[in-house]
Copies of this chain bind each other. A is one copy, B any other.
């Protein structure tokens, strides 16, 4: 896709998606990678490095907190929980997304209207 629209690279909304997934229940990186694809913002799985990077940064900023979970089988997991500040950030994302979605739909309509009168 030469100069391809959206490109599927930006606008993947990893941060709000992680916050939403954690709002619905605490989780950990590896599991989140799979859950993120359900939000429809990316094709295929999110690159692991990106998810872990976001999680660590979000913890630094106080949106999530984590603790090691060595229960069960396999390697230990770092289990993440959303914080009150994370909930506030998610709320702000919701407001932003509503505004953004509205702008996009208006944009699309403007295009259709223009194309129609050719």
Cα-based distance from A92 to B114 in the complex (angstroms): 16
Chain B proximity of A41: nearest CB distance (Å): 6
Cα-based distance from A114 to B6 in the complex (angstroms): 29
Query: Is residue A50 contacting chain B, with contact meaning CB distance below 8 A?
Result: no
Query: Is residue A104 contacting chain B, with contact meaning CB distance below 8 A?
Result: yes
Chain B proximity of A44: nearest CB distance (Å): 15
Residue of B nearest to A86 (CB): B3
Q: Indicate with 1 or 0, residue by residue over A62-98, a CB within 8 angstroms of chain B CB atoms.
A: 1100000000000000000000010001101111111
- Per assembly, the copies of the chain total 2
A-B contact pairs, 15 of them (CB 8 A): A3-B62, A4-B92, A5-B89, A5-B92, A5-B94, A5-B96, A6-B97, A11-B100, A20-B107, A20-B111, A23-B111, A23-B114, A41-B100, A98-B104, A100-B101
Which residues of A are interface residues toward B (Cβ below 8 A)? 1-6, 10-11, 13, 15-17, 20, 23-24, 39-41, 58, 61-63, 85, 89-90, 92-108, 110-111, 114
